[in-house]
Amino acid sequence: MKLDVNALRYLSKDDFRVLTAVEMGMRNHEIVPAELVDRIAGLKHGGTYKVLRNLLKNKLVHHDATKYDGYRLTYLGYDFLAIKTLVNRGVFASVGRQIGVGKESDIFEVATEDGTVLAMKLHRLGRTSFRAVKSKRDYLAHRRSFNWLYLSRLAALKEFAFMKALGDHGFPVPTAVDCNRHCVIMSLVQGYPLVQVKELQNPDDVFDTILGLVVRLAEHGLIHCDFNEFNIMIDDDEKVTMIDFPQMVSVKHRNAQMFFDRDIECIYKFFRKRFHLSSEKCEEQDGSDIDDDENSRPSFLSIQKAAGSLDKELAASGFTRKEQVEMDKYIDQNAEEESSDDDSTSEQDNEDGDDVAVKIGSLKIAEQDSAEVPDCTLASKDSSEPETFAKE
Ligand code: ADP
Ligand code: MG
């Protein structure tokens, strides 16, 4: 689904009032009864019903009359609430082109009033489940529409808290600017995901830097858990930035060792295949058992023992223990689904595009895989002209 963000400019105060009422109703209703929306919105003369029709026309809400006359927000409706809030706060003033489609997110460029371009990540938890629905319809039918809104908000909150803490501790991550609902605003990384890079001047150095990051994270008490060529950005000077943090866990997590080893293995595998890692490094990884031998891969157990407490600091920040538990549940559930998914179309499996390389800057870039079609695109009309919004 594509809808012009332009529509946002033509939505009235009442439209937002009713949209917000639907959001509030969703705290304890999967489908919010129209009467409840009306009561929360408090518009005179049945105004709510007229507004709901307008919101429906713009695909900001979904109408469901199966059990009773009710409505729920669509992702687009949720997007608009977050965007409106952030525009009102003066965080940005316009939305530009889409720059990324992740497994469970859409990323857009946004610009501030003074023209600074930032990145906006809209979390879309449940998207991977939507894909799996065809094979597990019954099992997922319940989860499908239930708490995606809450989980997406949690994912954004967690990503923002982690990005901020990691940045404060000197990790190369985007600067965390602001967060609202399922939306995170961060600095725009000048570079490309490593998966698109065909050639490096110094692959060994980049490899060491990346592996060093996994180790340093663990020394601070954290594991990325999705540390691969899709979540590592690299610029023309071969400077590395890591992104994508909603799935990070503490080194105390019960599966910490497995997550850590998997992150390390991903890097080895990718560098061996794409950059033909130097023979010296290949030898290092040949002893595939993880042990304490200095010449082999980093040992998780020795790091874990000496790990710092950034994980605890984070638990004390905006992202609470309860929320962490909820997120972990979702991550675990997803991991189980992925591993049981035979026809998995996960990003990692996709090695396509090897032949379609183009040269940009000093890096050789492969054409971006466009196989992933978002179910809900907050579109920029395919034009390079950003849509500008006024504050209330
Ligand atoms: P997901 O969690 O859905 O995988 P990511 O955070 O990995 O989402 O982002 C998906 C893609 O969007 C990335 O691979 C990258 O191309 C682009 N992207 C994400 N954040 C930024 C950023 N701050 N600057 C530039 N591009 C970004
Ligand atoms: Mg990613």
Tens of pLDDT, residues 68-87: 999 999 999 999 999 999 99
305, pLDDT greater than 80: no
* pLDDT at residue 164 in the model: 94
Q: Residue 374 domain-assigned? A: yes
Domain span at residue 143? 91-188+369-385
| Of 388 and 104, more confident | 104
244, pLDDT greater than 60: yes
β-pairing, 387-388 vs 222-223, is unpaired
Residue 342 annotated in active site: no
Does the beta carbon of 117 lie inside 6 Å of ligand 1? no
Q: Residue 80 domain-assigned? A: no
* Same domain? 176 vs 221: no
* Same domain? 231 vs 330: yes
Q: Give per-residue pLDDT as tens, 51-66.
A: 999 999 999 999 999 9
1, pLDDT greater than 60: no
306-337 CB burial, b ≥16 within 10 A, e <16: ebeebbeebeeeebeeebbebbbebbeebeeb
Contacts of 102 (CB under 8 A, 6+ apart): 121, 230, 244
* pLDDT at residue 5 in the model: 66
Residue 165 φ then ψ, to 5°: -65, -40
Q: Residue 359 domain-assigned? A: yes
**What is the CA(340)–ligand 2 centre distance, in A?**
21
Q: Give per-residue pLDDT as tens, 6-17.
A: 667 788 899 999
Mean per-residue pLDDT for 204-218? 95
Mean per-residue pLDDT for 275-281? 74
**What is the CA(231)–ligand 2 centre distance, in A?**
5
Q: Residue 229 domain-assigned? A: yes
130, pLDDT greater than 50: no
pTM above 0.90, yes or no: no
In angstroms, what CA-CA distances link 221 with 164, 260, 320? 15, 11, 17
For residue 2, what pLDDT band results from cuts at 50, 70 and 90?
A: very low
Instruction: Name the region of 251 (left: φ>0; alpha: ψ -120 to 50; beta: rest).
Output: alpha
* Same domain? 175 vs 205: no
Does the beta carbon of 126 lie inside 6 Å of ligand 1? no
* pLDDT at residue 308 in the model: 79
Instruction: Name the region of 324 (left: φ>0; alpha: ψ -120 to 50; beta: rest).
Output: alpha
**What is the CA(234)–ligand 2 centre distance, in A?**
14
* CA R_g for the chain: 22
Beta bridge mates, 33: 70
* pLDDT at residue 132 in the model: 42
383, pLDDT greater than 50: no
**What is the CA(123)–ligand 1 centre distance, in A?**
11
Q: Residue 79 domain-assigned? A: no
**What is the CA(184)–ligand 1 centre distance, in A?**
11
Grouping H, G, I as helix, E, B as strand and the rest as coil, residue 112 is: coil
* Same domain? 56 vs 30: yes
* pLDDT at residue 71 in the model: 97
Q: Whose CA is nearest to atom 6 of ligand 1?
A: 244
* pLDDT at residue 325 in the model: 73
The rounded percent of the chain whose pLDDT value lies above 90 is 53
Structural domains in the chain (count): 3
**What is the CA(120)–ligand 1 centre distance, in A?**
9
* Same domain? 107 vs 184: yes
* Same domain? 252 vs 302: yes
Q: Looking up tokens 């992104």, which residue turns up?
A: 243
Residue 335 φ then ψ, to 5°: -60, -40
Query: Could you give the CA distance from residue 111 to residue 120 in angstroms, rounded to a whole number?
Result: 10
* pLDDT at residue 272 in the model: 92
* Same domain? 211 vs 355: yes
For residue 367, what pLDDT band results from cuts at 50, 70 and 90?
A: very low
Query: Could you give the CA distance from residue 242 to residue 278 in angstroms, rounded to a whole number?
Result: 23
Q: Residue 85 domain-assigned? A: no
ipTM rounded to 2 decimals: 0.99
Catalytic residue among 15, 226, 244, 311: 226
For residue 392, what pLDDT band results from cuts at 50, 70 and 90?
A: low
263, pLDDT greater than 60: yes
Query: Could you give the CA distance from residue 155 to residue 183 in angstroms, rounded to a whole number?
Result: 9
Task: Name the domain boundary from 47, 73, 99.
Answer: 73
For residue 253, what pLDDT band results from cuts at 50, 70 and 90?
A: confident
* pLDDT at residue 127 in the model: 64
* Same domain? 95 vs 67: no
CATH number (domain holding residue 152)? 3.30.200.20
Q: Give per-residue pLDDT as tens, 280-302.
A: 665 555 444 444 444 567 788 88
* pLDDT at residue 176 in the model: 97
Query: Could you give the CA distance from residue 84 to residue 16 in angstroms, rounded to a whole number?
Result: 9
Q: Whose CA is nearest to atom 25 of ligand 1?
A: 189
* Same domain? 142 vs 238: no
Q: Give per-residue pLDDT as tens, 310-360.
A: 877 776 566 666 777 777 776 666 666 555 544 433 333 333 322 222 223
CATH number (domain holding residue 24)? 1.10.10.10
Mutate to test the pocket of ligand 1, among 101, 242, 244 (most ligand atoms within 8 A of CB): 244
Q: Which ligand has the minimum distance to the alpha carbon of residue 245?
A: 1
Mean pLDDT score of the chain, rounded to an integer?
78
Does the beta carbon of 231 lie inside 6 Å of ligand 1? yes
* pLDDT at residue 228 in the model: 94
Query: Could you give the CA distance from residue 326 to residue 333 in angstroms, rounded to a whole number?
Result: 11
Contacts of 278 (CB under 8 A, 6+ apart): 203, 204
* Same domain? 256 vs 317: yes
For residue 208, what pLDDT band results from cuts at 50, 70 and 90?
A: very high
Q: Show the CA angle centred on residue 133, arms to residues 330 and 64, nearest 5°.
A: 95
Q: Residue 376 domain-assigned? A: yes
Mutate to test the pocket of ligand 1, among 99, 104, 107 (most ligand atoms within 8 A of CB): 107
141, pLDDT greater than 90: no
* pLDDT at residue 10 in the model: 80
In angstroms, what CA-CA distances link 336 with 137, 181, 253, 332, 343? 16, 27, 16, 6, 14
Mean per-residue pLDDT for 202-230? 94
Does the beta carbon of 121 lie inside 6 Å of ligand 1? yes
Does the beta carbon of 244 lie inside 6 Å of ligand 1? yes
Residue 191 φ then ψ, to 5°: 160, -165
Task: Name the domain boundary from 73, 104, 134.
Answer: 73
374, pLDDT greater than 60: no
Task: Name the domain boundary from 42, 73, 104.
Answer: 73
Q: Residue 86 domain-assigned? A: no
* Same domain? 167 vs 297: no
Helices 137-146 and 148-168, packing angle to 10 deg:
70
Q: Which ligand has the minimum distance to the alpha carbon of residue 110?
A: 1
Query: Could you give the CA distance from residue 333 to residue 81 in angstroms, rounded to a whole number?
Result: 28
- Tokens for 141, please give them: 């039918």
Q: Whose CA is nearest to atom 10 of ligand 1?
A: 102
* pLDDT at residue 387 in the model: 66
Grouping H, G, I as helix, E, B as strand and the rest as coil, residue 200 is: coil
* Same domain? 221 vs 176: no
Q: Which of 114, 142, 124, 108 is nearest to 73 (CA)?
A: 124
Expressed in angstroms, the distance from the first to the final Cα of the chain is 28
- Residue 85's identity, in one-letter code, is T
CATH number (domain holding residue 338)? 1.10.510.10
